[in-house]
A and B are shown apart, each in its own frame.
Chain A
Amino acid sequence: MTVAGRYVGQSVRRQEDPRLLTGHGRYVDDIVVPGMLHAAFVRSSVPHGLLRGVDTEAARALPGVAAVLTAAELHPGLHPMWQTMMGQDAPAAPFRPLADADVRYVGDPIALVVVESRYIAEDAAELVVADIEPLPPVLDTSAALGDTASLVHPELGSNLAGELPAAGSPELDAAFASAALVATETFHQHRYACVPMETRGLVAQWDPAGEQLTVWAATQGPHEFRAICGRVLGLPEPRIRVIMGDVGGGFGQKMFPMREEIAVVAATRQLGRPVKWIEDRNENLLGGGHAREEQMTVSVAADDAGHFTGVRVEQLENVGAYPFPGNGSTAMAGSMIFPGPYRIPALSYAARAVYTTTCGRCAYRGPWMMETVAREQMVDLLARRLGMDPLELRRRNVITAEDLPFTTASGMVYETVSPAQTLEQAAELIGYDAFRREQAAERERGRLLGIGLALYIEPSQSFGPLGTDGATVRLEPDGRVALVMGTASHGQSLETTMAQVVAEHLGCDLGDITFVQGDTAYVPYGAGTGGSRSAVVAAGAARQAALALRERIVTLAAAVLEAAPSDLEVASSAVGVRGDPASALPFAKLAGLAYFGHAALPEGAPVALEVTERFKAPPFTFSNACHAATVEVDATTGQVSILRYVVSEDCGVMINPMVVEGQIAGGVLQGIGGVLYEHMVYDGDGNPLTTTFLDYLLPTAAEAPAIEYGHVETASRLPGGAKGMGEGGAIASPPALANAINDALAPLGIHLTRQPMSPAAIVAALTP
């Protein structure tokens, strides 16, 4: 446990809230550029087919229409697209902003209509006639694998998007051969989506004279947006300026520009006029990227005391037609993270990703989370087969403080995790033993109550291009502080937490800091906000820059005060001799000397009160948590009521506990949505059925339980002691709920292995 600082560790109120909560946020749809046109897409209504022709004549004739662009008009001159994180040679779907000669899912953009208003743009889009000769849809992942006749991407020759072959070992074979019990089960996760409150969108403006592109974008990573524009258009990156204002959530969907955004950027260059595209909700649900549709078969070998001796995993992922990024597979991350919080001596992990004629997969908060979803359900299933309580089975296998440092079967090294502590804290907070007694008594009365646990270990991803971030801290002439960062906060409260870190380490007042991000013309390079990396990488940069500036300010003050720097202290935006408050020089005074009064300064006194630092993080930093839920299932309607929801979390030193809890709450709600409400449904012909909020059900405040939090603070080895935790809420909540539901249904001999666990699905299981 560490002692909270003046700012770090305090639940400081969010600096962004006065702006956002009073409606003064500035989102991309608030951007108006003179002469701006509006774009709408003509989309395929057929899941798979040959595009025999696109008749745009009637649309072009409509007054107000500036252009109707098909692949033939838009694609010439565009260069290959690849994402920095994936690299240039990663397996990926073919890159084409618009459908070319064929369509590959319902929603596939066929043409881009550019018009003086969005209303007329939709009128014009209706007038475009696409002549499509239907082909059989490719929907079933298992069948698609062996299918060579019906290919989503004929140019690839196979529907196999990616493969991770099993890496067995003699130890693993021996574990299974000598196991007292082997349990095998396949868990299915269904398709659901990011659904940010703000949909995708951008305004793009081409300056033909200067050959410069400006893009205002709803993005999680302005620099990655810039890099992709640069690659596709063949432009030098400094000629492109990407600006993000306030962004209403992303959850992974806005990490990388997708086909529509690239098409709009290409169109603006071609037309030489600014173009705005604001995705509507219908489009966002239809084509904004889906996630989570996959299955995982887990075989676990255990000894007679329930200790895991080996695990085999097989994953099958549906990545749709045009996944982003890369081929949409999450298997590489899943294979590294699967062992999670347990001692699993031997592991093999095989995976295949399959293209289908559905909307492509995009990153979604904890993209690899099937490893936790399947593993945690498997623990409960194994416990049931062993006749052991799932809490006890976890206790027997969980990594304890004595095990550290611990190297997992997949090679991850844990130094500062605390899964056993969070397990015990969650069990205590939810009153595990008392609930078991209540459950037994209520079962006698016919009530179906259940409790579920889920443990996980969450990686802060800071490998490769995600490994560094930059921060500039500048003391302005009035003594106030500008904090300029490469972050892309879009709901993560970085405007507050990064300022807390700087105020703490620079020694200034929090109110003196103004946070700036999201303009590639001015901010340090940043790899984007995602991957639970901000508290590690971005905060590392903010801390490092603040300390460097502090040192410079102290050096300046020492020269002015004719004191040794080691005798000085910094507090509340002033520097003085320790023990002599009267000597304190306010930052404003020092800044005035540096900027304006430098002639009077002694030789060698620093006048550059601006520091830019990049922080380089280790590839992974691990946080961990335990979720515990209690539920009641109504056997008549199948309705699941969440009675209590507890999260015990260890994300190291918390910069702001309120923000940590907010991140957990948001993630938990997404997991609740996934298990109980959200389902992106395709019918057997490949038509999406849930493309409005009438049918795609998000949990609302009325469905949100009061989440109870417990914190364990085990500092990481990083300066500052932080660990990332942004995704975990969404990772562990689905299995915690699934386990609770199955525990409630246990007296009926039912164990569900498929999501969603909707009322109708539960009733179907109850009434075979």
Chain B
Amino acid sequence: MKAAPFCYHRPGTVAEAVETLAAFGDGAKVLAGGQSLVPLMALRLARAEHLVDLGRIAALRYVRGAADSVAVGAMTVQAAAGRDPVIAASVPLLARAIPFIGHFQVRNRGTVGGSCAHADPSAEIPAVAVTLDAELEASGRGRPRLIPAAKFFTSTFTTSLEPDEVLTALHFPVWPGRSGFAVREFARRRGDFAVAGAVCAVTLGQGERIERVAIGLLGLGAVPLRAAAAERAATGTAAGDLDVTEIGHLAVADTDPPDDVHATPGYRRRVGVAMAARALTAALEEAAHG
């Protein structure tokens, strides 16, 4: 469990990082918090001839709140995001997802952007990004661009980032009104990758009707998923009339979950139903009663 040889680069700016990536092409990998990449390299399951460490780019560590969105620098460590008052007040779903990430040691090193760029389909931050329709900001040799979360995650461990691009920030929209947010996931042990999980945001309108709802699923496919059919069915329904289990079934209906030693696809779907129902119930409860 010792990594194969590699060259280590530590750029001080995003521009320098982009130049280094461009220079080495496919032979280069970006290192953020290293909580996934480093163990994979130690097992020699991942290799890089050139490792480009973003750890010293201080400009990528920030949380900035605006009226309708919150920007989080990609190298903000998860633990810092988890205790940030702006995130807690304006993007509660993100704040509530972070404690589910690994253990505190992992959250102290792992970054918000690193989790997205790694694109593990059972990861929490990508699921929150997809659920809230966040935009991911990338810088390459061309102009910086904003990528909608739905288009960012393309497959397991794969994103739409170009080889010379660095993920620099996430922009989370703020949900106004009588909104509630919840994360529910099931893992074998506290801190393990989720077998299945759901993140949910909901806004109640007139007559306790569901004005707006977003349900995201993790661990149930190659990318974090949105439960579009379930969202359509729930929207406009009076909260009290909602059959959350039925919504849960709708949420997982079209999923194609992975199979591994911990869970079969069928088992993941079964747990997914329960997690979606439980997350929706909790989010509705918060929207109704604060």
Contact of B189 among A122, A677, A681, A763 (CB under 8 A): A677
Contact of A763 among B3, B188, B270 (CB under 8 A): B270
**CB neighbours of B193 from chain A (8 A):** 694
Q: Is B186 in contact with A697, judged by CB distance below 8 angstroms?
A: no
Nearest B-chain residue to A693, judged by Cβ: B39
**CB neighbours of B192 from chain A (8 A):** 697
Contact of B261 among A638, A681, A700, A763 (CB under 8 A): A681
CA distance A700 to B264 in the complex (A): 24
* Residues of B within 8 A of A (CB-CB), count: 24
| Residue B274, interface by CB 8 Å | yes
Contact with B along A272-311 (1 / 0, CB 8 A): 0000000011100000000000000000000000000000
| Residue A679, interface by CB 8 Å | yes
Q: Is A700 in contact with B189, judged by CB distance below 8 angstroms?
A: yes
**CB neighbours of A281 from chain B (8 A):** 1
CB distance from A63 to the nearest CB of B (A): 12
**CB neighbours of A638 from chain B (8 A):** 267
Q: Is A703 in contact with B189, judged by CB distance below 8 angstroms?
A: yes
CB distance from B101 to the nearest CB of A (A): 15
| Residue A662, interface by CB 8 Å | no
Contact with A along B12-50 (1 / 0, CB 8 A): 000000000000000000000000000000011000000
Q: Is B1 in contact with A760, judged by CB distance below 8 angstroms?
A: no
**CB neighbours of A677 from chain B (8 A):** 188-189
**CB neighbours of A695 from chain B (8 A):** 260-262
Q: Is B188 in contact with A759, judged by CB distance below 8 angstroms?
A: yes
| Residue B143, interface by CB 8 Å | no
CA distance A639 to B271 in the complex (A): 10
**CB neighbours of B263 from chain A (8 A):** 760
Contact of B270 among A118, A636, A679, A681 (CB under 8 A): A636
CB distance from A626 to the nearest CB of B (A): 28
| Residue B232, interface by CB 8 Å | no
CB distance from A664 to the nearest CB of B (A): 22
**CB neighbours of A123 from chain B (8 A):** 4-5
Q: With A282-B1, A637-B186, A695-B261 as known contacts, state yes or no: A122 contacts B267, CB within 8 Å.
A: no
Q: Is A637 in contact with B271, judged by CB distance below 8 angstroms?
A: yes
Nearest B-chain residue to A703, judged by Cβ: B189
**What secondary structure prevails in chain A residues at the interface with B?**
loop
Nearest A-chain residue to B188, judged by Cβ: A697
Q: Is B2 in contact with A118, judged by CB distance below 8 angstroms?
A: yes
CB distance from B259 to the nearest CB of A (A): 11
| Residue B191, interface by CB 8 Å | yes
| Residue A434, interface by CB 8 Å | no
Q: Is B261 in contact with A679, judged by CB distance below 8 angstroms?
A: yes
CA distance A636 to B278 in the complex (A): 12
**What secondary structure prevails in chain B residues at the interface with A?**
loop
Nearest A-chain residue to B245, judged by Cβ: A636
| Residue B190, interface by CB 8 Å | yes
Contact of B190 among A119, A689, A700 (CB under 8 A): A700
Nearest B-chain residue to A118, judged by Cβ: B2
| Residue A514, interface by CB 8 Å | no
| Number of A-B residue pairs at CB separation under 8 A | 63
Contact of A636 among B5, B261, B271 (CB under 8 A): B271
CA distance A681 to B260 in the complex (A): 11
Nearest B-chain residue to A122, judged by Cβ: B2
Nearest B-chain residue to A702, judged by Cβ: B190
Nearest B-chain residue to A676, judged by Cβ: B188
| Residue A397, interface by CB 8 Å | no
Contact of A122 among B44, B188, B191, B260 (CB under 8 A): B44
Name the interface residues of A675-707: CB closer than 8 Å to any CB of B. Answer: 677, 679, 681, 689-690, 692, 694-695, 697, 699-700, 702-703
Q: Is B262 in contact with A760, judged by CB distance below 8 angstroms?
A: yes
Contact of B267 among A282, A689, A700, A760 (CB under 8 A): A760
Name the interface residues of B188-217: CB closer than 8 Å to any CB of A. Answer: 188-193, 195
Name the interface residues of B158-199: CB closer than 8 Å to any CB of A. Answer: 186, 188-193, 195
Contact of A697 among B2, B3, B189 (CB under 8 A): B189
CA distance A12 to B196 in the complex (A): 46
CB distance from B277 to the nearest CB of A (A): 9
Q: Is A637 in contact with B274, judged by CB distance below 8 angstroms?
A: yes
Contact with B along A106-126 (1 / 0, CB 8 A): 000000000000110011001
CA distance A126 to B260 in the complex (A): 27
CA distance A692 to B44 in the complex (A): 13
CA distance A763 to B43 in the complex (A): 33
CA distance A597 to B108 in the complex (A): 64
CA distance A695 to B267 in the complex (A): 17
**CB neighbours of B4 from chain A (8 A):** 122-123, 126
**CB neighbours of B188 from chain A (8 A):** 677, 697, 758-759
Contact of A639 among B186, B191, B260, B264 (CB under 8 A): B186
CA distance A695 to B261 in the complex (A): 7
**CB neighbours of B5 from chain A (8 A):** 119, 123
CB distance from A744 to the nearest CB of B (A): 18
Q: Is A699 in contact with B43, judged by CB distance below 8 angstroms?
A: no
CA distance A690 to B260 in the complex (A): 10
CA distance A280 to B267 in the complex (A): 33
Contact of B1 among A280, A639, A700, A702 (CB under 8 A): A280
**CB neighbours of A280 from chain B (8 A):** 1
Q: Is B261 in contact with A690, judged by CB distance below 8 angstroms?
A: yes
**CB neighbours of A282 from chain B (8 A):** 1, 43
CA distance A689 to B262 in the complex (A): 11
CB distance from A512 to the nearest CB of B (A): 41
CA distance A689 to B260 in the complex (A): 9
Q: Is B189 in contact with A702, judged by CB distance below 8 angstroms?
A: yes
Contact of A703 among B190, B261, B271 (CB under 8 A): B190
**CB neighbours of A637 from chain B (8 A):** 186, 270-271, 274
Contact with A along B269-286 (1 / 0, CB 8 A): 011001000000000000
CB distance from B7 to the nearest CB of A (A): 15
Contact with B along A172-207 (1 / 0, CB 8 A): 000000000000000000000000000000000000
Most buried by B among A119, A126, A681, A760: A760
**CB neighbours of B267 from chain A (8 A):** 638, 759-760, 763-764
**CB neighbours of B260 from chain A (8 A):** 695
CA distance A280 to B42 in the complex (A): 11
**CB neighbours of A689 from chain B (8 A):** 261
Q: Is A702 in contact with B191, judged by CB distance below 8 angstroms?
A: yes
**CB neighbours of B270 from chain A (8 A):** 636-637, 763, 767
Most buried by A among B189, B261, B271: B261
**CB neighbours of B1 from chain A (8 A):** 280-282
Q: With A280-B1, A637-B274 as known contacts, state yes or no: A758 contacts B189, CB within 8 Å.
A: no
CB distance from B188 to the nearest CB of A (A): 5
Nearest B-chain residue to A690, judged by Cβ: B261
Q: Is B43 in contact with A692, judged by CB distance below 8 angstroms?
A: yes
CA distance A297 to B59 in the complex (A): 66
Starting from the known contacts A122-B44, A281-B1, A759-B267, 5 additional A-B residue pairs (CB-CB under 8 Å) come to A123-B5, A679-B261, A697-B189, A697-B192, A760-B263
Q: 16 A-B residue contacts at CB 8 Å?
A: A126-B4, A636-B270, A638-B267, A677-B188, A677-B189, A689-B261, A699-B189, A700-B190, A700-B191, A702-B191, A703-B190, A758-B188, A759-B186, A759-B195, A759-B267, A767-B270
List the 5 shortest-distance A-B pairs measured between CB atoms, nearest first: A280-B1, A702-B190, A119-B2, A636-B274, A760-B267
